[in-house]
């Protein structure tokens, strides 16, 4: 029967493309109002020495720094208050997921990010405690709206990246202790050009032997259907060369990155 199906599908040219590598199935889709249930707010002063006052969940809702529509979660900084010199920082919002993830694919569907002087939007994965022993993976990061996006790993000493690796981005530094950074080649991966283009999708695949990242802008013609349609199953093998590729060839990721062997992916919008 398998052979018959194979011949039939060859004849009809309907054979599914060959699949190598793991299948990921959707475990969590955090969209619109569910951000309030799946994320924890960080009501702390900014320990990265920025002038921000991260509000708690109630305050962020009261000040309308967070609000939702059925398919959108908006998170923003206060942009109307004239601050006192030397006074409290600007009210803003910093959140983290209540769940932890091991081997996984994460997809971030973003329509708009803060832009302009003094802004520092970021998406990163780290252990809630013990930084940087648990490793830090920055998927989206930049300051003052300066394009393009910069992805990075941060580790304790001893983890480096090979200079020559299969990625479309440009390595800026290969020593992960100070941060091994990869600059994205697309200008619209960050800041005002990202926003005027309608945003896009950032994706991360995190495994024991590598970390890969991709980006598709909203108008790209090569957005995989699994990304555009938020499918229940996906294979990263069909996504093409990653923008950033961090193999474990000269970095034993085990001591640096706390991951184990289960496969999930989440869609965040």
Return d(Cα 65, Cα 114) in angstroms, integer: 12
- Options 22, 32, 43, 50; binder of ligand NAG; rule CB under 6 A: 43
- Using rule CB under 6 A, residue 88 touches ligand NAG: yes
Task: Establish whether 205 is a catalytic residue.
Answer: no
* Distances 128 to 5, 135, 213, 269 between C-alpha atoms, Å: 50, 10, 22, 22
**Residue (of 138, 152, 124, 146) closest to 193 by Cα position:** 146
- Using rule CB under 6 A, residue 167 touches ligand NAG: no
* Residues facing residue 267 across a β-bridge: 29, 107
The two structure tokens encoding residue 134: 């648990």
- Using rule CB under 6 A, residue 71 touches ligand NAG: no
| Element (DSSP H or E) covering residue 58 | helix 57-62
- Options 66, 91, 103, 167; binder of ligand NAG; rule CB under 6 A: 91
Residue 256: exposed, middle, or buried by beta-carbon count in 10 A (0-12, 13-18, 19+)?
buried
Catalytic residue from among 141, 205, 229, 266: 141
| Minimum CB–partner distance for residue 248 and ligand NAG (Å) | 4
Do 77 and 118 form a contact (C-beta atoms < 8 A)? no
- Using rule CB under 6 A, residue 47 touches ligand NAG: no
Return d(Cα 239, Cα 245) in angstroms, integer: 13
Catalytic residue from among 136, 205, 229, 266: 136
Task: Establish whether 266 is a catalytic residue.
Answer: no
- Using rule CB under 6 A, residue 56 touches ligand NAG: yes
| Minimum CB–partner distance for residue 30 and ligand NAG (Å) | 20
Task: Restricting to residues 232-261, name those near ligand NAG by CB under 6 A.
Answer: 248, 252
Q: So which residues are the catalytic ones? A: 136, 141
Summarize as ranges the residues that interact with ligand NAG (CB under 6 A).
43, 53, 55-56, 59, 64, 67, 88, 91, 164, 208-209, 248, 252
């Amino acid at each position: 029967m398998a052979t018959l199906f194979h011949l039939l599908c060859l004849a009809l040219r309907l054979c599914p493309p060959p699949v190598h590598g793991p299948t990921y199935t959707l475990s969590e889709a955090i969209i619109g109002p569910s951000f309030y249930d799946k994320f924890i707010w960080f009501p702390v002063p900014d320990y990265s020495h920025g002038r921000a006052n991260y509000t708690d969940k109630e305050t962020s809702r009261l000040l309308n720094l967070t609000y939702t529509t059925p398919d959108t979660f908006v998170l923003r900084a206060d942009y109307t208050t004239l601050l006192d010199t030397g006074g409290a920082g600007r009210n803003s919002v910093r959140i983290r997921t209540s769940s932890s993830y091991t081997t996984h694919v994460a997809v971030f569907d973003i329509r708009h990010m803060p832009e302009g002087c003094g802004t520092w939007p970021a998406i990163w994965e780290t252990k809630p405690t013990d930084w940087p022993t648990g490793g830090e993976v920055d998927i989206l990061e930049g300051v003052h709206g300066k394009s393009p996006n910069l992805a990075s790993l941060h580790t304790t000493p001893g983890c480096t990246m090979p200079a020559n690796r299969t990625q479309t981005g440009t390595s800026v530094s290969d020593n992960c202790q100070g941060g091994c950074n990869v600059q994205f080649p697309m200008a619209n991966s960050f800041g005002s050009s990202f926003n005027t283009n309608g945003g896009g999708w950032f994706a991360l695949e995190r495994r024991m032997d590598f970390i890969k990242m991709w980006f598709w802008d909203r108008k790209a013609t090569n957005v995989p259907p699994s990304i555009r349609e938020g499918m229940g199953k996906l294979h990263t093998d069909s996504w093409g060369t990653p923008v950033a590729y961090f193999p474990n060839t000269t970095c034993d990721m085990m001591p640096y990155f706390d991951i184990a062997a289960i496969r999930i992916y989440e869609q965040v919008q």
